[in-house]
Structure 1
Amino acid sequence: MARRNATAYAPSDEGNYHHHVNPAKWRDLRWPTCIKEINVRFLNGSYQQKLLVADLVREHYNTIPMSVKFRFFLEPEGDSDIRVLFVKMGDSHSYVGVSNLIVPEQKPTMMLNLEHKNPDNNKNTILHEFGHALCLEHEHQHPGSGIRLNRRALLKGKNTNAECIDDNYEIQPSLFCPWRTEPYDRHSVMHYGFSKGQLRDPEAYILVNPAVSQGDRNQLLQMYPLKESHKPKLLYTTADSKKLTRGIFEATKKESRWAKFFLRVKGR
């Protein structure tokens, strides 16, 4: 359930999304206005799993009157922007926004572990990862959350280390786009759940949210307005961002109509 910031996919990185490059800096990876549909394909999984994902995403994201929608294909072959791989072990994670487009064809851009006993946790996993695919950040890292972590307790969790906590749990104001107007949203699907003992207050806990909140919807309406003139201008926050993008495309040796966009990866 951790977000992982990476910059590119290389053959030697298969299954590894732990390449951190300035993870605390906000970067604009929104889908451009020329893209009206994000094509999603499944690399494996049962018909029921695919239908669960497609129906849930359509219900929660495609009903938002924004400029971009998800389009699902059950077959693994064909053009795609996002490729889902179902896994039975490990965390779920996703590339962020246009970062999906630098991943070689036939390689997954999103991992989904839907082996949770609680159906609400599976719903949260799906909607959280597709939120990352739309460039939504971890809401508990918003400066308005006021969350105080018990790092010692968190370090006892599986696949958790100090770097993971810094990147995915701790409050990081610089992760959030400078033009965001929505306040901290406790009910965001991008908010982690915390069990008793994981927060400084020993009796405090936070449940996961199995639905896209109104705050999430408002953010996406601001990010992807139907009227292009109202869309905040694409920003390149650092000079090294542009250099990084050029390096990615040189490394992949692949022509791309997305070269003008600055790419990054995230997960959950």
Structure 2
Amino acid sequence: MRKYLLSAVAAGAVLAGAGSALADEAAAQKWIDQEFQPSVLSKDDQLAEMQWFIKAAEPFSGMEVNVLSEGIPTHSYESEVLAKAFEEITGIKVNHQILGEGEVVQAVQTQMQTGRNLYDAYVNDSDLIGTHSRLQLAYNLTDWMGGAAKDVTNPGLDLDDFMGTQFTTGPDGDLYQLPDQQFANLYWFRKDWFDREDLKTAFKDKYGYDLGVPVNWSAYEDIAEFFTNDVKEVDGVPIFGHMDYGKRAPDLGWRMTDAWLSMAGAGDKGEPNGIPVDEWG
């Protein structure tokens, strides 16, 4: 029976278990040449890192690692490509299963409640950081990677290079999850309009601050009002409307409230990380 679970472990960052004698440097070179490009590392540096993985895997012959995640393209790639590469390079067999989001959450809850080891690692939402840090049923990665798992933690792992660790850090300041993927929300705008001196002057005269990318929701409204009601047209071409999402989808409502409003500071400051709370929190 395993008391603790690994949560949101980024593929290849930590060796969580097991291997066989199939580790192969030639396979590592094949994957480097055919799949792991482009890379911020040179091919020589990539091979050196793969050699470390091969060596670190040697004591874990004959075991397997079972991982569960929800079905999005990132995790499909991990399941279908990275798991195969990891096994060929290190000899560690990773069974990466994909289920629906609700089923992943149910499995996490069942494992925590019963203590039965359903999976060795989960890729689950960072929304569970409060649960993991409070219940102490997921590995404290800060302690684990610096202690019991130090010898099997990639020495090239750069935690500062991850985006979103503030969402996976508990109120005790320790890391319980490694960010694996992000839902990016982007603000697109006509920079050539924002750079026009006549428009910049007119905007500042009316609103009292510089025209630029909005840092809060009221600025977003001011910019929309300015271009719609004051500018009306640029170089003889009428301005009409704006777009947040261009594809019809059932998640549009919560994308607006969860992502845009909270990014604009419209949510309450929440625990454990001080990030605005909306209907997700």
TM-score normalised to structure 2 length: 0.25
Q: Per residue, is there more helix in 1 or in 2?
A: 2
Greater relative contact order, per chain length (Cα 8 Å cut-off, separation 6+): 1
Larger radius of gyration: 2
TM-score normalised to structure 1 length: 0.26
